[in-house]
Amino acid sequence: MGFKWSEVQILSPRFFSFPFAGSLYNNPMNLLIVIPVFNSWEALLPLIQSLKEIPADICIVNDGSDFIPDWAAFHPSAALLHHGANKGKGAALRTGFSYALEQGYEAVITMDSDGQHEPRFFPSFTEALRKHPFVIGKRDFENPSMPLLRRFSNRMTSRILSWLLRVSIEDAQCGYRALRREVLEVVETTAPGFDMESEYIIRAVRKGFAPHFIPISTVYNGSVSAIKGIRDTRSFICLCFRALFKGL
Protein backbone atom coordinates (compact mmCIF):
# COMPACT_ATOMS: atom_id res chain seq x y z
CA MET A 1 0.00 0.00 0.00
CA GLY A 2 3.02 2.30 -0.38
CA PHE A 3 4.12 2.99 3.18
CA LYS A 4 6.21 1.48 5.94
CA TRP A 5 4.74 0.45 9.29
CA SER A 6 7.99 1.57 10.89
CA GLU A 7 6.98 5.14 10.04
CA VAL A 8 3.64 4.85 11.84
CA GLN A 9 3.38 5.13 15.61
CA ILE A 10 0.38 3.45 17.24
CA LEU A 11 -0.41 5.82 20.10
CA SER A 12 -3.66 4.14 21.11
CA PRO A 13 -4.25 0.59 19.86
CA ARG A 14 -7.58 0.14 21.62
CA PHE A 15 -10.77 -0.40 19.69
CA PHE A 16 -14.22 -0.11 21.18
CA SER A 17 -17.24 -1.51 19.38
CA PHE A 18 -20.37 0.49 20.07
CA PRO A 19 -23.61 -1.38 20.77
CA PHE A 20 -25.82 -1.94 17.76
CA ALA A 21 -28.47 0.74 17.48
CA GLY A 22 -31.81 -0.29 16.04
CA SER A 23 -33.06 -2.22 13.05
CA LEU A 24 -31.06 -0.13 10.58
CA TYR A 25 -27.98 -1.92 11.83
CA ASN A 26 -29.16 -5.52 11.65
CA ASN A 27 -26.38 -7.86 10.51
CA PRO A 28 -23.77 -5.11 10.20
CA MET A 29 -20.40 -5.73 8.64
CA ASN A 30 -17.25 -5.69 10.70
CA LEU A 31 -16.59 -2.01 9.96
CA LEU A 32 -13.78 0.44 10.63
CA ILE A 33 -14.29 4.20 10.31
CA VAL A 34 -11.04 5.86 9.18
CA ILE A 35 -10.65 9.58 9.87
CA PRO A 36 -7.45 11.37 8.78
CA VAL A 37 -6.73 14.52 10.77
CA PHE A 38 -4.27 17.38 10.47
CA ASN A 39 -4.72 20.12 13.09
CA SER A 40 -8.55 19.91 13.04
CA TRP A 41 -9.00 18.46 16.54
CA GLU A 42 -11.61 21.01 17.60
CA ALA A 43 -14.04 19.78 14.96
CA LEU A 44 -13.04 16.13 15.36
CA LEU A 45 -14.11 15.70 18.98
CA PRO A 46 -17.83 16.39 18.36
CA LEU A 47 -17.67 14.10 15.33
CA ILE A 48 -16.27 11.26 17.43
CA GLN A 49 -18.95 11.84 20.06
CA SER A 50 -21.69 11.83 17.41
CA LEU A 51 -20.56 8.38 16.28
CA LYS A 52 -21.43 6.76 19.61
CA GLU A 53 -24.52 5.05 18.15
CA ILE A 54 -22.64 3.67 15.17
CA PRO A 55 -21.75 -0.06 15.24
CA ALA A 56 -18.19 0.38 14.01
CA ASP A 57 -14.69 0.82 15.32
CA ILE A 58 -12.90 4.11 14.78
CA CYS A 59 -9.34 4.76 13.67
CA ILE A 60 -7.93 8.30 13.75
CA VAL A 61 -4.82 8.82 11.61
CA ASN A 62 -2.96 11.89 12.86
CA ASP A 63 -1.02 13.18 9.88
CA GLY A 64 1.74 15.06 11.69
CA SER A 65 -0.39 17.65 13.49
CA ASP A 66 1.36 20.41 15.42
CA PHE A 67 -0.04 18.98 18.65
CA ILE A 68 -2.19 16.08 19.86
CA PRO A 69 -4.80 16.85 22.55
CA ASP A 70 -4.89 14.55 25.55
CA TRP A 71 -8.34 13.21 24.72
CA ALA A 72 -7.18 11.95 21.31
CA ALA A 73 -4.68 9.49 22.74
CA PHE A 74 -6.98 8.24 25.47
CA HIS A 75 -10.46 8.44 23.97
CA PRO A 76 -12.10 5.06 24.67
CA SER A 77 -13.83 4.80 21.31
CA ALA A 78 -10.93 5.20 18.91
CA ALA A 79 -7.49 3.98 17.99
CA LEU A 80 -4.91 6.63 17.13
CA LEU A 81 -2.20 6.14 14.52
CA HIS A 82 0.45 8.81 14.21
CA HIS A 83 2.61 10.10 11.36
CA GLY A 84 5.69 11.85 12.70
CA ALA A 85 5.47 14.41 9.89
CA ASN A 86 2.72 15.69 7.64
CA LYS A 87 2.54 13.39 4.60
CA GLY A 88 -0.81 14.34 3.11
CA LYS A 89 -4.36 13.05 3.20
CA GLY A 90 -3.63 10.30 0.70
CA ALA A 91 -0.83 8.90 2.83
CA ALA A 92 -3.04 9.06 5.93
CA LEU A 93 -5.81 7.15 4.19
CA ARG A 94 -3.36 4.48 3.03
CA THR A 95 -2.22 4.05 6.62
CA GLY A 96 -5.82 3.59 7.75
CA PHE A 97 -6.60 1.18 4.92
CA SER A 98 -3.56 -0.96 5.64
CA TYR A 99 -4.41 -1.05 9.32
CA ALA A 100 -7.96 -2.15 8.47
CA LEU A 101 -6.64 -5.01 6.34
CA GLU A 102 -4.17 -6.09 9.01
CA GLN A 103 -6.89 -6.11 11.66
CA GLY A 104 -9.27 -8.17 9.51
CA TYR A 105 -12.06 -5.64 8.92
CA GLU A 106 -14.61 -6.41 6.22
CA ALA A 107 -15.11 -2.81 5.16
CA VAL A 108 -13.99 0.76 5.77
CA ILE A 109 -15.91 4.01 5.84
CA THR A 110 -13.88 7.21 5.47
CA MET A 111 -14.95 10.56 6.89
CA ASP A 112 -13.29 13.97 6.98
CA SER A 113 -12.29 15.36 10.36
CA ASP A 114 -13.75 18.84 9.85
CA GLY A 115 -17.32 17.86 10.70
CA GLN A 116 -18.72 18.18 7.17
CA HIS A 117 -19.82 14.54 6.98
CA GLU A 118 -22.92 13.64 8.97
CA PRO A 119 -23.15 10.24 10.73
CA ARG A 120 -26.87 10.05 9.91
CA PHE A 121 -25.94 8.78 6.44
CA PHE A 122 -24.11 5.78 7.88
CA PRO A 123 -27.12 3.44 7.34
CA SER A 124 -27.26 4.51 3.68
CA PHE A 125 -23.61 3.57 3.23
CA THR A 126 -23.90 0.22 4.98
CA GLU A 127 -27.03 -0.66 3.00
CA ALA A 128 -25.31 0.27 -0.27
CA LEU A 129 -22.28 -1.82 0.70
CA ARG A 130 -24.45 -4.94 0.64
CA LYS A 131 -24.71 -4.60 -3.16
CA HIS A 132 -21.77 -2.40 -4.13
CA PRO A 133 -18.14 -2.84 -3.03
CA PHE A 134 -17.25 0.84 -3.54
CA VAL A 135 -19.63 3.62 -2.48
CA ILE A 136 -19.13 7.40 -2.59
CA GLY A 137 -21.30 10.19 -1.25
CA LYS A 138 -22.80 12.56 -3.83
CA ARG A 139 -23.06 16.11 -2.57
CA ASP A 140 -25.57 18.69 -3.81
CA PHE A 141 -23.52 21.00 -6.02
CA GLU A 142 -26.43 23.46 -6.06
CA ASN A 143 -26.24 23.92 -2.30
CA PRO A 144 -25.81 27.70 -1.83
CA SER A 145 -23.67 27.11 1.25
CA MET A 146 -21.05 25.28 -0.84
CA PRO A 147 -18.26 27.76 -1.65
CA LEU A 148 -18.24 28.78 -5.31
CA LEU A 149 -14.69 27.57 -5.91
CA ARG A 150 -15.57 24.13 -4.53
CA ARG A 151 -18.63 23.91 -6.77
CA PHE A 152 -16.50 24.62 -9.82
CA SER A 153 -13.74 22.24 -8.74
CA ASN A 154 -16.15 19.43 -7.89
CA ARG A 155 -17.99 19.70 -11.20
CA MET A 156 -14.80 19.98 -13.23
CA THR A 157 -13.02 16.98 -11.71
CA SER A 158 -16.16 14.83 -11.85
CA ARG A 159 -16.73 15.58 -15.54
CA ILE A 160 -13.09 15.01 -16.45
CA LEU A 161 -12.98 11.64 -14.69
CA SER A 162 -16.31 10.64 -16.25
CA TRP A 163 -14.87 11.38 -19.71
CA LEU A 164 -11.56 9.72 -18.93
CA LEU A 165 -13.04 6.51 -17.52
CA ARG A 166 -16.22 6.32 -19.63
CA VAL A 167 -18.09 5.83 -16.37
CA SER A 168 -20.43 8.29 -14.66
CA ILE A 169 -18.49 9.85 -11.78
CA GLU A 170 -21.01 11.99 -9.93
CA ASP A 171 -18.67 13.35 -7.24
CA ALA A 172 -14.94 12.80 -7.65
CA GLN A 173 -13.82 14.71 -4.56
CA CYS A 174 -16.18 13.62 -1.78
CA GLY A 175 -14.25 12.06 1.08
CA TYR A 176 -17.29 10.30 2.58
CA ARG A 177 -16.79 6.82 1.15
CA ALA A 178 -17.27 3.14 1.90
CA LEU A 179 -15.09 0.32 0.60
CA ARG A 180 -15.33 -3.41 1.05
CA ARG A 181 -12.24 -5.45 1.77
CA GLU A 182 -12.14 -6.88 -1.75
CA VAL A 183 -11.49 -3.35 -3.06
CA LEU A 184 -8.92 -2.44 -0.41
CA GLU A 185 -6.95 -5.59 -1.20
CA VAL A 186 -6.38 -4.83 -4.89
CA VAL A 187 -6.40 -1.03 -5.30
CA GLU A 188 -3.04 0.57 -4.64
CA THR A 189 -2.33 4.30 -4.87
CA THR A 190 0.74 6.51 -4.71
CA ALA A 191 -0.52 10.11 -4.54
CA PRO A 192 0.23 11.64 -1.13
CA GLY A 193 -2.32 14.45 -1.12
CA PHE A 194 -5.97 15.10 -1.92
CA ASP A 195 -5.52 13.83 -5.48
CA MET A 196 -5.27 10.33 -4.01
CA GLU A 197 -9.08 10.25 -3.83
CA SER A 198 -9.32 10.80 -7.60
CA GLU A 199 -6.49 8.33 -8.18
CA TYR A 200 -8.39 5.78 -6.11
CA ILE A 201 -11.42 6.12 -8.37
CA ILE A 202 -9.30 5.65 -11.50
CA ARG A 203 -7.53 2.58 -10.19
CA ALA A 204 -10.72 1.08 -8.75
CA VAL A 205 -12.59 1.46 -12.04
CA ARG A 206 -9.72 -0.19 -13.89
CA LYS A 207 -9.88 -3.08 -11.44
CA GLY A 208 -13.59 -3.49 -12.19
CA PHE A 209 -14.94 -1.58 -9.18
CA ALA A 210 -16.86 1.38 -10.55
CA PRO A 211 -18.17 3.47 -7.63
CA HIS A 212 -21.82 3.61 -6.69
CA PHE A 213 -23.05 7.03 -5.53
CA ILE A 214 -25.58 7.85 -2.84
CA PRO A 215 -26.94 11.35 -2.09
CA ILE A 216 -25.69 13.06 1.05
CA SER A 217 -25.82 16.53 2.50
CA THR A 218 -22.72 18.32 3.71
CA VAL A 219 -22.25 20.78 6.55
CA TYR A 220 -20.23 23.83 5.54
CA ASN A 221 -19.30 25.52 8.79
CA GLY A 222 -17.09 28.25 7.41
CA SER A 223 -13.88 26.30 7.93
CA VAL A 224 -11.10 26.91 5.44
CA SER A 225 -10.61 24.04 3.02
CA ALA A 226 -7.29 22.26 3.30
CA ILE A 227 -7.29 21.85 -0.47
CA LYS A 228 -4.79 24.22 -2.07
CA GLY A 229 -6.24 25.48 -5.35
CA ILE A 230 -3.26 25.86 -7.67
CA ARG A 231 -1.14 23.05 -6.24
CA ASP A 232 -3.92 20.48 -6.06
CA THR A 233 -5.31 21.44 -9.47
CA ARG A 234 -1.85 20.89 -10.93
CA SER A 235 -1.65 17.51 -9.18
CA PHE A 236 -5.04 16.52 -10.59
CA ILE A 237 -4.01 17.49 -14.13
CA CYS A 238 -0.81 15.46 -13.80
CA LEU A 239 -2.86 12.53 -12.50
CA CYS A 240 -5.18 12.67 -15.51
CA PHE A 241 -2.21 12.91 -17.88
CA ARG A 242 -0.70 9.79 -16.33
CA ALA A 243 -4.02 7.98 -16.53
CA LEU A 244 -4.50 8.93 -20.18
CA PHE A 245 -1.01 8.40 -21.56
CA LYS A 246 0.95 6.28 -19.10
CA GLY A 247 -1.50 3.56 -18.16
CA LEU A 248 -2.13 4.60 -14.55
Domains of the chain as residue ranges with CATH: 5-145+173-189+209-224 (3.90.550.10)
Average pLDDT over every residue of 94-98: 97
Q: Is 53 exposed, middle or buried (0-12, 13-18, 19+ CB in 10 A)?
A: middle
Give the pLDDT mean for 225-234: 60
Please, which residues have CB within 8 angstroms of residue 153's CB and are 6 or more apart in sequence? 173, 227, 229, 233
44-48, 64-68, 208-212, 228-232: which has the highest mean pLDDT? 208-212
**Whole-prediction pTM:** 0.85
Tell me which of 73-77, 126-130, 156-160, 205-209 is least confident.
73-77
Report the mean per-residue pLDDT for the chain: 84
Query: Which three-class secondary structure state does DSSP give residue 6?
Result: helix
How far is it, in rounded angstroms, from Cα 176 to Cα 195? 15
Which has the higher per-residue pLDDT, 16 or 219?
219
Measured in degrees and rounded to the nearest 5, phi and psi for residue 238 equal -65, -40
pLDDT for residue 246: 63
Average pLDDT of the segment spanning 1-18? 53
- Residue 76: pLDDT band with limits 50, 70, 90: confident
Q: What is the pLDDT of residue 154?
A: 83
Residue 222 has a pLDDT of 58
Please report the pLDDT score of residue 172 as a whole number: 93
Answer whether residue 196 shows pLDDT above 70: yes
Comparing 7 with 59, the larger pLDDT belongs to 59
Residues 6+ positions from 200 with CB-CB distance below 8 Å: 187, 189
